[in-house]
């Protein structure tokens, strides 16, 4: 009797779970890596199943990490019991409530003055709640200067990447500056990433207007939301699910608006869950991301490897798992040099 498709799927799932468990343990020698490479090469279904299990495992680990704090909070909770003969002072409690409310309003008023720098080190990720309820999530190695006044909300992205979830306030637009570039939002969520010479903006909700730091009174008309090209530095209106890149310097280059799929947007925000998610990503971009999040110095020696497409889902900081995944390939050599330097080179083809 021929086994059913469900049987084959179950076998593949079992084998993928076994391989994933071994990868998670980190106990793979050269023979194990060769065996895993051979198993993956047998069928694309093997690759898909291993990736699926990796994603499920990441989600479970995120939930598991919350278990201890929740248990601690539950164990520290105690009911407040009032004794039968305890005297009550309604007026005193009312007065304390008024004082607490006033202090709270003074401290957390949406119009409160705020002027400070927010910084994350390499491998660090933080979320900050602003007085108006907006949230700034900083990726690894990032820095922003925040300047909130009763009249304006301004943030300067000096380095790195940040996700801005903006509380609505039509009287005080939320403006992010990157050099001479400006990203303005009213109530929305968007990601801004700054590299040495370039800025990338992606909108996850609502709309943002990109412009330059022109003097007040300059007349610009927003462009259409539909994907297309326009000459910088004219303002560009980006809608939900759209992104673009442009140089930080005020040059006459053109910019292209791209539409992002849900999976692409999810991968772009995977760092908030402590993950690095790659799908058909050029290897040189993978290396840039890993170096940025971990401080490692992974170097690609051969130009031909830089364009090689790479798939994988990894927890931030688990660089060894990524290097193992590269070592499994038959066309890449991984060499560990002094310090934190790792050299990737093209493996010579074996004679037939």
- For every one of its 352 residues, what pLDDT tens digit does the chain have, with 9 covering 90 and above? 555 555 567 888 888 888 877 777 766 676 777 787 778 777 777 877 877 777 666 555 544 444 454 444 444 433 333 333 333 334 343 433 433 333 333 344 555 567 899 999 998 999 998 888 899 999 999 999 999 988 889 999 999 999 999 998 888 889 999 988 899 986 789 999 998 888 999 999 999 998 876 534 333 333 333 444 444 457 888 999 999 988 877 655 567 789 998 888 888 888 988 888 888 899 999 999 889 888 889 999 888 889 888 888 888 877 788 888 888 877 888 888 887 899 998 877 655 5
Q: Counting Cβ atoms within 10 Å, is residue 153 exposed (0-12), middle (13-18) or buried (19+)?
A: buried
In whole angstroms, what is the distance from residue 128 CA to residue 148 CA?
14
3-state class of 294 per DSSP? helix
Q: What are the residue ranges spanned by the domains of the chain?
A: 5-61, 110-215+222-263, 274-346
pLDDT at 86: 39
Residue 10 to residue 7: CA distance in whole angstroms: 5
Report the distance separating Cα 267 and Cα 241, nearest Å. Answer: 13
What are the strands, taking DSSP E only, across the chain? 114-119, 126-129, 135-138, 143-148, 153-165, 174-178, 181-185, 189-194, 198-205, 207-212, 229-231, 236-239, 242-247, 254-256, 258-259, 275-282, 297-300, 309-315, 332-336, 341-346
Terminal Cα-to-Cα distance of the chain (whole angstroms): 38
pLDDT at 7: 54
**pLDDT given for residue 40 in this prediction:** 77
Please give the Cα distance from 142 to 191 (Å, whole number): 13
Residue carrying structure tokens 């060894």: 320
Q: How many CA atoms lie within 13 A of 119 on its CB side?
A: 3
Other beta carbons less than 10 A from residue 315's beta carbon: 18
Same CATH fold assignment for domains 110-215+222-263 and 274-346: no
Query: What pLDDT score does 95 carry?
Result: 39
Q: What CA–CA distances, in Å, run from 339 to 132, 295, 336, 342? A: 45, 11, 8, 9
Q: What is the pLDDT of residue 191?
A: 95
User: Topology of 274-346 in CATH?
Assistant: Phage tail protein beta-alpha-beta fold (3.55.50)
Query: 88 to each of 83, 93, 94, how far by Cα in Å?
Result: 10, 9, 12
Give me the pLDDT at residue 273, please. 83
Angle between helices 283-294 and 319-328 (to 10 degrees): 160
pLDDT at residue 175, as a whole number:
94
- State both tokens at 191: 């990601």
Q: What architecture is domain 110-215+222-263?
A: Sandwich (2.60)
Beta bridge partners of 117: 145
């Amino acid at each position: 009797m021929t086994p059913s498709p469900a049987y084959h799927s179950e076998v593949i799932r079992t084998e993928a779970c076994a391989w994933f468990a071994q990868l998670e343990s980190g106990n793979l020698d050269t023979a194990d890596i060769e065996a895993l490479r051979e198993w993956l090469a047998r069928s694309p279904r093997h690759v898909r199943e291993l990736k699926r299990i990796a994603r499920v495992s990441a989600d479970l680990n995120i939930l598991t990490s919350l278990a201890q704090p929740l248990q601690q909070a539950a164990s520290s909770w105690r009911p407040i019991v009032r004794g039968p003969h305890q005297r009550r002072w309604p007026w005193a409690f009312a007065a304390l409530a008024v004082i607490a409310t006033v202090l709270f309003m003074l401290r957390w008023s949406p119009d409160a003055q705020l002027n400070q720098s927010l910084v994350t080190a390499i491998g660090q990720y933080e979320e900050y709640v602003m007085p108006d309820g907006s949230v700034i999530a900083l990726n690894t190695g990032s820095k922003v200067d925040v300047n909130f006044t009763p009249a304006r909300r301004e943030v300067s992205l000096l380095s790195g990447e940040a996700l801005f979830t903006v509380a609505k306030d039509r009287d005080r637009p939320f403006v992010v500056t990157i050099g001479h570039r400006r990203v303005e939002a009213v109530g929305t969520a968007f990601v801004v990433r700054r590299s040495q010479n370039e800025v990338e903006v992606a909108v996850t909700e609502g709309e943002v207007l990109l412009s330059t730091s022109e003097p007040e009174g300059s007349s610009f008309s927003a462009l259409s939301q539909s994907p297309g090209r326009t000459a910088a530095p004219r303002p560009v209106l980006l809608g939900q699910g759209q992104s673009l890149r442009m140089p930080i310097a005020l040059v006459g280059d053109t910019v292209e608006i791209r539409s992002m799929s849900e999976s692409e947007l999810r991968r772009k925000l995977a760092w908030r869950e402590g993950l690095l998610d790659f799908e058909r990503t050029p290897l040189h971009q993978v290396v840039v991301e890993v170096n940025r999040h971990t401080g490692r110095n992974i170097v690609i020696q051969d130009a031909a490897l830089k364009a090689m497409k790479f798939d994988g889902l990894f927890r931030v900081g688990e660089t060894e798992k990524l290097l193992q995944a590269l070592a499994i390939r038959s066309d890449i050599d991984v060499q560990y040099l002094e310090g934190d330097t790792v050299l990737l080179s093209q493996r010579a083809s074996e004679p037939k």
